[in-house]
Copies of this chain bind each other. A is one copy, B any other.
């Protein structure tokens, strides 16, 4: 038992069967389409292609990489793939990579600097052609080092230190939320702001706070708390908020998962989201719409961000200058911050 693993077909095998030299076969099979010079005569090309097809030839990537010093591999670092935001961005990266004939290594760094370093070395040790970081810290020392070493890379999700980055216009997203809450008449608001080292949370908070300041309602410091980017973090941040003073009328949580924790904490304090207090999240993850009280949030083009990040990396690999891109967010209003929608919802449930 146990099927023997067939030795893969090589160029040499094809050459032998056809009485050609391996270099001719190589030229035929892998001549760049743009290449003006013909690889061989039409009949030869035909024969080679046919046999390669028949035998199911697949180029040995290790041999090719060794010879060309190009691996067509890229490394992707994310804080954690179990965060649906990063997983979705990665799906975009992978999709676009496949279209460019590139394969991706993706790895979790849990936002721990030592792990970021170690995984970067590991990935570089694999001789990737370039990297995409989804876990940049605002203190960009590490990335500066990587850049100094000449490693081509781009950032997605979070920006840092002026390196080419494809991110959502988080500042604008924060302003949109502020605008919405101001329209709803909120005057005393709070923010669960995420990790202080992540541009996402910082920029969202910044836009939000700026807009309130412009409205003559600067947000006091104790109304802004940092937190981890998950349900636990949202819960913990909210508990601190509730302990630190009177109840605000609205809470902006800089990501949906945090918002879920916030909702849990508010519930534990006997507060009804949408009625007693407004809550707004960020990212419009799939469950925001499905929550018992649907969550107002800001939609960010996550998959598209991944696709564009990969495209920028391809440009960098081609020797061009990588460009930063700012993707447009969109406010999605739902019952968690809109009394009219909340009433309609309750009417249905109540009746």
Interface residues of A (CB under 8 A from B): 2-6, 8, 58-63, 65-66, 71, 80-82, 84, 87-88, 90-91, 94, 98, 103-108, 121-122, 124-127, 147-151, 230-232, 235, 257, 260-261, 263-264, 267-273, 286-287, 289-294, 345, 348-351
Contacts and interface: CB of A to CB of B under 8 A. Distances in A.
Contact of A147 (B3, B106, B124): B3
19 contacts: A3-B147, A5-B150, A6-B150, A8-B127, A61-B127, A62-B62, A62-B66, A63-B66, A80-B91, A81-B81, A81-B87, A82-B84, A87-B87, A103-B122, A231-B287, A231-B289, A261-B290, A264-B294, A273-B292
Given A87-B81, A287-B260, A292-B291, A2 B150 contact: yes
Contacts of A148: 3
Contact of A149 (B3, B149, B264): B3
A5 B270 contact: no
Contacts of A62: 61-63, 65-66, 71, 127
Contacts of A80: 87, 91
Contacts of A121: 58
Nearest to A84: B82
Contacts of A98: 122
Contact of A270 (B122, B231, B270, B349): B349
B71 A82 contact: no
Contact of A290 (B60, B108, B264): B264
B151 A5 contact: yes
A287 B287 contact: yes
Given A58-B125, A62-B62, A291-B291, 9 more contacts: A3-B150, A4-B150, A87-B87, A103-B122, A106-B106, A263-B292, A264-B290, A269-B348, A270-B348
A127 B90 CA distance: 23
Contacts of A65: 62
Contacts of A125: 58-59, 61
Which 5 pairs between the two chains have the least Cβ-Cβ distance? A5-B150, A3-B150, A264-B290, A62-B65, A82-B87
Nearest to A118: B98
B103 A104 contact: no
A105 B102 CA distance: 12
Contacts of A345: 267
Contacts of A63: 62, 66
Nearest to A119: B98
Of A121, A269, A270, most B-chain CB atoms within 10 Å: A270
Nearest to A267: B292
A287 B350 CA distance: 25
A90 to B, nearest CB: 6
A72 to B, nearest CB: 10
Contacts of A272: 349
A109 to B, nearest CB: 11
A60 B289 contact: no
Contacts of A6: 149-150
Nearest to A4: B150
